[in-house]
């Protein structure tokens, strides 16, 4: 147990609890030798091991070590005992930006200043091949002077974990901030997805509420895929135009970081802190027609882990809005991707189907034996966490009757790797 006043690893005097994450507690602490203020993230090894999160923590550590930027929360050192991991971090005295915005929207020049810092941090991260993938207000901390510190790289992926097609295949991030292609498509470009989240953040800072919100997760996803949002009347025209370019549902036409940096609204007062700082100026906001942030009780809390903790038989159809052909099926699996791929190959061989394409988490199965025309099935494996996957099965060619028959034969054969078929409440 960590107690206030206790000395940790003969070096840090522990202070108050600053916050709590999924598997960690964060404490304020002081380096006894240097007097430096730090934040210490204490992670329980047992809990994370059970949840299969060790890889994620290692990733967080390696990513945070990689990036050095004044707006990225710095990692000083990592220490471990038998049961705990201690991550010593730069202390962000102002805490979460979320708490500030929950009290009301920010003034335009303050919002722009935060956004400038965020874009500058992302520029450096992306150049280094690091993508955050879970950018949201709760991951933006503020230092003593109101300066931005981007934290929580827990879900970020390094460029070398990309699949052969150069796209990420992990379904993660936080629904309200997640880009449409992360929800809908096969793979996505981490940089483009981060830019979308930056757009959501800019909107939130200026509006005091989320651009895409709905009590129904599926409806929220639909709004995201259509980029269906409205700007409050106080949004300046330049901001509306910029948001239109950032919140572009098509990642190929979405604005890039370098173009954002050339934008005239973005460039205003660049590098100079607004006069009203260090105190963050909060504007009162009255929004009778939409829920404000504070009322919304952290809607963005549903992340990949919550998806797992939802009951089995979970209907994931809404996670793939826009791709809803009737003969598509999906199942969840608690097996690692490699085991899923092996099983799919084995079942395919037994059913006289050939694997004609294999690309990371994607398999194309084709078979014509005993049929008039060739049937093609695409199997797409999406990673939620390393030990939780969603597999999507689609007809790519051939007639529906042959496909249906193959599907019916395949379903029982896959039982060893299936946790739940989509819409199957019996599981
Ligand atoms: P995390 O597990 O990183 O999500 O951290 C949980 C909470 O602890 C955050 O939401 C913050 O409120 C607080 N926190 C985390 N890191 C720091 C830090 N470096 N400085 C100040 N507060 C922090």
Tell me the three state secondary structure of residue 381.
Answer: strand
| Spatial distance between the Cα atoms of 283 and 47, rounded to a whole number of angstroms | 41
- CA 121 – CA 264 distance, rounded (Å): 19
Q: Residue 152: CB within 6 Å of ligand 1?
A: yes
| pLDDT reported for residue 196 | 97
Tell me how far the alpha carbon of residue 154 lies from the centroid of ligand 1, in angstroms.
Answer: 12
Range with the poorest average pLDDT among 1-5, 103-107, 281-285, 383-387: 281-285
Contacts of residue 388, defined as CB under 8 A and 6 or more positions apart, other chains included, come to 304, 307, 308, 332, 333, 334
Q: In the structure, what pLDDT confidence band is assigned to residue 174 with cuts at 50, 70 and 90?
A: low
* Mean pLDDT of all residues in 178-202: 86
Architecture (CATH level 2) of domain 309-422: 2-Layer Sandwich (3.30)
The pTM for the full model equals 0.67
Instruction: Say whether 134 is catalytic.
Output: yes
At 69, the pLDDT band (50, 70, 90 cuts) reads confident
Residues 314-325 as b or e (16 or more Cβ within 10 Å = b): bebeebbbeeee
Q: Would you identify the CATH topology of the domain 95-302? A: Transferase(Phosphotransferase); domain 1 (1.10.510)
- CA geometry: angle 253, 113, 243, nearest 5 deg: 25
Instruction: Check whether 283 is labelled as a binding-site residue.
Output: no
Alpha-carbon span 205 to 272, nearest angstrom: 19
Ligand 1 atom closest to 23 (CA): 2
**Number of CB atoms found within 10 A of residue 349's CB:** 12
Q: For residue 147, is it left (φ>0), alpha (ψ between -120 and 50) or beta?
A: beta
Among 134, 152, 248, 402, which one carries the catalytic annotation?
A: 134
Which mutation among 14, 16, 21, 90 tests ligand 1's pocket best, with the greatest number of atoms within 8 A of CB?
21
pLDDT tens per residue across span 388-404:
677 888 888 888 888 88
pLDDT tens profile 346-379: 999 998 899 988 776 788 999 877 777 888 998 8
- So where are the chain's domains? 7-90, 95-302, 309-422
What is the pLDDT at residue 344? Answer: 94
pLDDT at 62 over 90: no
- Give tens-digit pLDDT for 299-348: 333 333 334 333 223 344 444 433 445 567 888 788 888 889 999 999 99
Please, what is the average pLDDT of the chain?
Answer: 77
Confidence class for position 115, pLDDT limits 50, 70, 90: very high
222-236, 289-303, 375-389: which has the minimum mean pLDDT? Answer: 289-303
Atom 22 in ligand 1: residue holding the nearest Cα: 95
Q: Is the pLDDT of residue 281 over 50?
A: no
Confidence of residue 84 (pLDDT cuts 50, 70, 90): confident
Pick the CATH number of 7-90 from 3.40.50.10470, 3.40.50.11540, 3.40.50.970, 3.30.200.20: 3.30.200.20
Residue 103: its pLDDT value, please?
81
């Amino acid at each position: 147990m960590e107690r206030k006043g206790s000395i940790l690893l003969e070096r840090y005097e522990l202070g108050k609890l600053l916050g709590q994450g999924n598997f960690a507690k964060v404490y304020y602490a002081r380096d006894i030798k240097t007097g430096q203020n730090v934040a210490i993230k204490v992670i329980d090894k047992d809990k994370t091991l059970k949840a299969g999160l060790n890889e994620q923590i290692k990733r967080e550590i390696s990513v945070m070590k990689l990036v050095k930027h004044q707006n990225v929360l710095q990692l000083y050192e990592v220490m471990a005992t038998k049961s705990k991991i201690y991550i010593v971090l730069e202390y962000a005295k102002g805490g979460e930006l979320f708490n500030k915005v929950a009290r009301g929207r920010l003034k335009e020049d303050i919002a722009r200043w935060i956004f400038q810092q965020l874009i500058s941090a992302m520029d450096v991260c992306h150049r280094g091949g690091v993508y955050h993938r879970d950018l949201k207000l709760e991951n933006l901390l503020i230092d003593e002077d109101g300066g931005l510190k981007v934290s929580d790289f827990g879900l970020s992926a390094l460029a070398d974990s990309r699949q052969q097609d150069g796209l990420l295949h992990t379904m993660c991030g936080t629904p309200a901030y997640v880009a449409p292609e992360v929800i809908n498509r096969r793979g996505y470009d981490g940089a483009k997805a981060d830019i979308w989240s930056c757009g959501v953040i800019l909107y939130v800072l200026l509006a005091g509420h989320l651009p895409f919100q709905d009590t129904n997760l599926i409806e929220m996803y639909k709004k995201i895929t259509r980029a269906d949002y409205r700007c409050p009347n106080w949004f300046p025209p330049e901001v509306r135009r910029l948001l239109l370019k950032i919140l572009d549902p098509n990642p190929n036409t979405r604005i890039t970081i370098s173009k954002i940096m050339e934008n005239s609204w973005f460039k205003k007062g660049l590098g100079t802190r607004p006069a009203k700082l260090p105190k963050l100026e909060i504007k009162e906001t009255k929004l009778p027609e939409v829920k404000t942030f504070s009322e919304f009780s952290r809607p963005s809390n549903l992340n990949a882990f919550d998806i797992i903790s939802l009951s089995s038989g979970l209907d994931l159809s809404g996670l793939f809005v826009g791709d809803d052909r009737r003969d598509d099926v999906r199942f969840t699996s608690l097996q690692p991707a490699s085991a899923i791929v092996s099983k799919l190959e084995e079942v395919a061989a037994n059913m006289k189907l050939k694997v004609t394409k294999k690309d990371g988490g994607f398999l194309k199965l084709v078979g014509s034996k005993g049929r008039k025309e060739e049937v093609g099935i695409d199997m797409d494996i999406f990673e939620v966490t390393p030990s939780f996957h969603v597999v999507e099965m689609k007809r790519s060619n051939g007639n529906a009757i042959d496909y249906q028959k193959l599907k019916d034969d395949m379903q029982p054969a896959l039982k060893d790797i299936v946790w739940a078929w989509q819409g199957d409440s019996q599981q």
